[in-house]
Amino acid sequence: MSRPLAIAILAAAALAAPGAAAGAPVTSLPPENPPKITEVAPGVGYQRIAGTDDSVVHVIRAAASPRVALAPVLAGGSPVTRGSLTGAVAARLDTGAVAAINGDFFNTVTNDPSGVLMIGGELIHEPEASRSALVLLPGGDLAAVTLALQGRYQALDPTGGVTYPQRTLSGLNRPAKRGSETILYTTAYGRLETPVSGSRYEVRVRLDQPGPLLPNQPRTGTVIAAGSGGGTTIGAGHVVLTGVGSAGTNLVSDLPLGRQVGITPGLLALPPGTLDAIGGGPVLVRDGTAITSAGEGFTSAQIGSRTSRSAVGRTADGTLLLVTAEGPTQGRRGLTVSEQAELMRSLGAVTAIAMDAGGSAQLSVRDRLVLPLSGPRSLSNVIVLSYQGITVEPLPFRISPNADRVDDAPTMVVRATSPGATRVSVARRTGRPSKVLWSGRLGPGAARVNLDPRRLRLADGVYIVVARHTADDGSGVTEQRRRVIIDRTLSSLNARSATTRQQRKVVRRLDVRFRLLRPARVTVRVTTPDGTPIATIASGRPLRTGAQTVSWNRTVRGTLVSGPVTVTVQARSPLGTSGLARAVTLKAPPRPSPPATP
């Protein structure tokens, strides 16, 4: 491509791109060399890994700790209702949620998950017998296990004179999917009534011992209501048995009103002590070996297509991994399952299992997605990573209290998951002098703490913010530190187009104005709104303290640039490089009037 043509394309891109009008807010630029891993909570870090093949992988690592845990969550509050990943995290921020990843595959019509769902010991949905499930073991370990439902119900004769046949339970808390099957509904279904359908016969059972349905724990109760067509109220302390199609005949004959019944929600291969499990698959890594020939009932298209993919794993030292790779939606190549397995092994996983993929593949740090998605898909269930202790949401990398309304005095969010005494302070890297920003009672919940260097009379330099929490329950003291640079060097960025006449010629230019509070080497650039370079106006130019103006004639190789652009200014000083950005619209010259018709 010729250089003039490339310049013309840049100018056209600037014209076509959605830009901001003149006077748009000024924003700070991210650091030139950000840390590779961002601390989310003590022992929990987030990393964005960009590969040489244009791949992008998002990784959350959580070091083994009794304060760190994974838990499956119903995104919409019901196994047949969907919700957002970020919404599920937002609802749990005050109880410790710091990150989350999408969970199991699900039916996009009925919304229920494909596999097992067990939360806090309560069995909510049956497993998919051909696929692996993520089982969260006591002590923080995890395993990929193939589970199977062995559900039974049986009418009981208190006298022991009659032995009724055992009947099979096909599913829990989901819509009917077979012409003949028996489904058990509990209060975990999340709706007051069972689904309505003409080919159903139902009985409502009052349990002798109310409480959640636990796997492999037999329950007994008494039939207190019966009906057909669905729509039976479930009610606290009750369950509903639904016979679909010919399976309803067994309910009619076995369970009249007043009959006692035994219900056993058997779950084969469930490790002892397990309280949480969620479906997924296939297994990606077992005993440190990547499984590159996964089956588990997935189609070749599901396994071999290149798409966004998510996985959960654990390393040999107990570090938990939440990993999502970008795909075609983000303009990336995507991964096959085989490549995903190799990725997890390369990250150190000794155990790993895939979760749902494609449009469902999502990862969040707190309640903000880290994958670029214009319209995130709602999900059936998600996996939430929590930290029990105090956390401080990240501050701006650089605070510039120079009265230009950009990072002058940020407000930080401090959260504690249990009641206790909290103290937030700021000090130089040496630890002195230390100034208290906030102290008081906190938890469970958040406090907003203002960091105003002008009020605190903090000079420029590197500081450490320390949040320390002593829990009332005796669980100990937790602390998180955040590093921040106070740097007043660069302020008050403005950029405006100007038009003048020189020797009967119209000259158009862009004036970039800013202020320096100390000498610095300054670089000024113009880019398209998406960051494509257009021009460098100044490069490392040494400038003194005071108001500054750098002008540009708006031309690149003779081509006048018009449309929305972004102006960035970077100032390098002994405190590092600070930067500001502002969106500006460069007006195109008026079109010449057509010649008058004689």
Residues 6+ apart with CB under 8 A from 232: 193, 194, 202, 204, 225, 240, 242
For 350, other C-beta atoms within 10 Å of its C-beta total: 17
Residues 53-98 have pLDDT tens digits of 999 999 999 999 999 999 999 999 999 999 999 999 999 999 999 9
Q: Are 484 and 463 in contact (CB under 8 A)?
A: yes
In the beta sheet, which residues pair with residue 515? Answer: 491, 547
Q: Which of 4, 1, 13 is nearest to 533 (CA)?
A: 13
pLDDT digit string, tens, across residues 173-190: 999 999 999 999 999 999
Task: Let me know the angle formed at the C-alpha of 275 by 272 and 276, rounded to the nearest 5 degrees.
Answer: 120
Give the angle 245-246-250 at the CA atoms, nearest 5°: 120
Check residue 160 and give its pLDDT.
85
* 16 phi/psi in degrees, rounded to 5: -80, -25
Write the secondary structure of 275-298 as one string of H (helix), E (strand) and C (coil). Answer: CEEEECCCEEEECCEECCCCCCCC
Which residue in this structure is represented by tokens 């003590």? 42
**What is the arithmetic mean of pLDDT over 151-167?**
94
581: left (phi over 0), alpha (psi -120 to 50) or beta: beta
Place of tokens 């999900």: 379
Residue 578: which of 404, 370, 365 has the closest Cα?
Answer: 404
More confident residue, 503 or 151: 151
Task: Name the pLDDT band for 22 (thresholds 50, 70, 90).
Answer: very low
Of the candidates 264, 172, 282, the one whose C-alpha atom is nearest the C-alpha of residue 221 is 264
Residue 16 region by backbone torsions, left for phi larger than 0, else alpha for psi between -120 and 50, else beta: alpha
Q: What is the pLDDT of residues 436-460, one digit of tens each?
A: 999 999 999 999 999 999 999 999 9
Residue 594 has what pLDDT? 66
Lowest mean pLDDT among 3-7, 26-30, 238-242, 523-527: 3-7
Q: Output the CA torsion sign for 455, 456, 460, 462.
A: negative
Residue-wise pLDDT for 489-517, tens only, equals 999 999 998 877 777 777 789 999 999 99
Burial class (CB in 10 A: 0-12, 13-18, 19+), 8: middle
What pLDDT digit, counting tens, does each position of 517-555 carry? 999 999 999 999 989 999 999 999 999 999 999 999 999
Confidence of residue 596 (pLDDT cuts 50, 70, 90): low
- Please report, as a single letter, which amino acid is at residue 148: A
**Residue 230, Cβ density class (10 Å: 0-12 exposed, 13-18 middle, ≥19 buried):** buried
Widest pairwise Cα distance in the chain = 115
Q: How far apart, in whole angstroms, are the C-alpha atoms of residue 172 and residue 128?
A: 12
CA distance 110 to 68: 33
Residue 7 has pLDDT above 60, yes or no: no
- The closest alpha carbon to 562, from 2, 9, 4, 15, belongs to 15
Decide: 369 and 60 in contact? Cβ < 8 Å. no
Contact 64, 350 (CB under 8 A): no
Number of helical H runs and strand E runs in the chain: 6, 44
| Count of CA atoms in the C-beta half-sphere (13 A) of 402 | 23
pLDDT mean across residues, the chain: 92
pLDDT digits (tens, 9 = 90+) for 568-594: 999 999 999 999 999 999 988 877 666
pLDDT of residue 198: 83
Instruction: Name the residue with tokens 């060097």.
Output: 489
Residue 382, amino acid: V
Residue 138: which region, alpha, beta or left (left: phi > 0; alpha: psi -120 to 50)? beta
**Per-residue model confidence (pLDDT) at position 292:** 82
The dihedral built from the CA positions of residue 80, 82, 83 and 88, taken in this order, carries a sign that is positive
Residues 291-335 pLDDT 10s = 988 778 898 889 999 999 999 999 999 999 999 999 999 999 999
State yes or no: pLDDT of 21 exceeds 60. Answer: no
Determine the pLDDT at residue 436: 96
Q: Which amino acid is at 561?
A: V
- Tell whether the model's pLDDT for residue 14 goes beyond 50: no
Model pLDDT, residue 592: 66
DSSP annotation of 141: -
The pLDDT of residue 505: 77
* CA–CA separation, 552 and 537 (whole Å): 6
Outline where DSSP puts E strands in 381-444.
381-387, 390-392, 398-399, 411-416, 420-428, 434-442
Determine the pLDDT at residue 429: 84
Beta strand pairing status for 181-185 and 445-450?
unpaired
Question: At 595, is the pLDDT very low, low, confident or very high (cuts 50, 70, 90)?
Answer: low
Alpha-carbon distances of 201 from 181, 247, 252, 583, rounded to whole Å: 11, 8, 7, 65
